[in-house]
Amino acid sequence: MTRVLVIDDDRLQYRLLQQHFRNFRRGSYELDWSETYEDGLARLLTGAYAVCLLDYRLGQRDGLQLIQEAAASGCRTPIVFLTAESSDNIDIQAMEAGALDYLVKGEISPHSLERSLRYALKLGDTLEALRRLATRDELTGLLNRREYERILAEEEERSVRFGHPLALVIVDLDRFKSVNDLHGHSAGDAVLKEAARRIAGAIRTVDRVARIGGEEFALILVQTDRASALEVARRAIAAVASEAIAAGGGLSLPVTASAGVAELPSGAQGAAGLFAAADKALYAAKAGGRNRAVSAPQARGTP
C-alpha cells in the first residue's frame, strides 16, 4: 500500500482526487488529507508518506514556501505540485523549489495523475540512490569522508552558537593490514563491515558514524563532553573485540581497535583542531598497547 498525502485547503478538490484514485489502472494507494499549511507540513515531516500532492494556494501561505520549509528540515518525500494556474512561471518556481512534477487542476485525469505519481516515485527513488552514493561508504554503508566533514563543520557551528560541547572519537582497527596480507581482501572486507556494524551500534541515534579511511572510523557525538565521549569510545572498542569476526570460508578472526577522543571547546579549537586532537590521542592509544581509548588533554586556558 502506497501512502499519499494531499495538502489542499479545498475539500471538493480532495474529493475529486479521491475519485481519480479509484479509477487508477494499477497500484494500491492509501490517501490522507490535510487542509492547512501547518498540519500538512507536520505530517509531511513524519516521513510516513511515499509521495505528496501539494496545492499552490494554502490560505495566506503557498505551497512553494511549504516545499522550501520541508526541504530545510530534511524532508525527501517526492512532491507533485497542484495549481489552478497554467503558468510556465509557476511551473519553473515549483521545480526550483523542489517539486518533482506539476499538474494543472483543471487538466487532471486519472491517467495523468497516475502517470505523475509513478514518475515522482521513480525519480524520488533515483535521487535517493544518488544521494546515498554521494554520502555513504559503499562497503560499510556508513557515512563517507566527505559527508563526515560536512556534518562536523555543521555541528561545530551549532556547538559554538548554542554553547554545547561537541566530541569526536576516532576509532582505528588494530593491525588491520595483517588481515589483508594473511587472509586476503575479501576477509578484510568482511572484518570491516562487521566492525563498522558493531561501532555504529555503540552510539545514540542523534550521533553520526563515518568511515573516513581504510580501517578508520569517526564518531561525531553531539552535546557530549569528554568524559561521556570516552565512555562511548570504550563501548565501541569493546564491541569490536567482543567476539571473533567471521571472515568467510569458516575463518574467524579476533579483532581489536583503538580510539582517540577530543572535545570542543575544552580540548581543541575548530573542526580541524578537534580532529587533530582526537588523532593525536589515537596515536597515544596505539603506543600504549592498543585495544584502548585515550582522551586528548584539556587545552590550556579552558575552564
Per-residue pLDDT, 60: 82
Same domain as 109, residue 150: no
How many angstroms separate the Cα of 283 from the Cα of each of 102, 273, 287? 55, 15, 6
Same domain as 279, residue 156: yes
Distance of CA 7 to the CA centre of its chain: 26
> Average of pLDDT values for 177-185?
94
> Average of pLDDT values for 191-206?
96
* Residue-wise DSSP of 235-257: HHHHHHHSSPEE-STT-EE---E
> Average of pLDDT values for 53-73?
89
Asked whether residue 276 is assigned to any structural domain, the reply reads yes
Same domain as 128, residue 7: yes
Task: State which of 102, 135, 168 marks the end of a domain.
Answer: 135
* Annotated catalytic residue within 215, 231, 243, 263: 215
Nearest to 302 by CA among 275, 270, 267: 267
Same domain as 283, residue 156: yes
pLDDT in tens, 95-135: 888 889 989 888 899 999 999 999 999 998 888 888 888 89
Confidence of residue 86 (pLDDT cuts 50, 70, 90): low
pLDDT in tens, 212-237: 999 999 999 999 999 999 999 999 99
Same domain as 206, residue 105: no
Asked whether residue 44 is assigned to any structural domain, the reply reads yes
Asked whether residue 130 is assigned to any structural domain, the reply reads yes
Same domain as 157, residue 270: yes
Task: State which of 108, 135, 162 marks the end of a domain.
Answer: 135
Same domain as 107, residue 196: no
pTM score: 0.69
Same domain as 255, residue 182: yes
Same domain as 131, residue 163: no
Same domain as 115, residue 56: yes
* Residue 297 to residue 27: CA distance in whole angstroms: 60
Asked whether residue 302 is assigned to any structural domain, the reply reads no
Same domain as 178, residue 286: yes
* Residue 19 to residue 15: CA distance in whole angstroms: 6
> Average of pLDDT values for 158-171?
95
Asked whether residue 107 is assigned to any structural domain, the reply reads yes
Same domain as 158, residue 290: yes
| pLDDT higher than 60, residue 302 | no
Asked whether residue 301 is assigned to any structural domain, the reply reads no
Q: How many domains, in total, are found in the chain?
A: 2
Asked whether residue 300 is assigned to any structural domain, the reply reads no
215 catalytically annotated: yes
The CATH code of the domain that includes 68 is: 3.40.50.2300
Task: State which of 103, 135, 167 marks the end of a domain.
Answer: 135
Asked whether residue 279 is assigned to any structural domain, the reply reads yes
Domain that holds residue 274: 145-295
Q: Which residues pair with 80 in a beta bridge?
A: 53, 101
Distance of CA 150 to the CA centre of its chain: 12
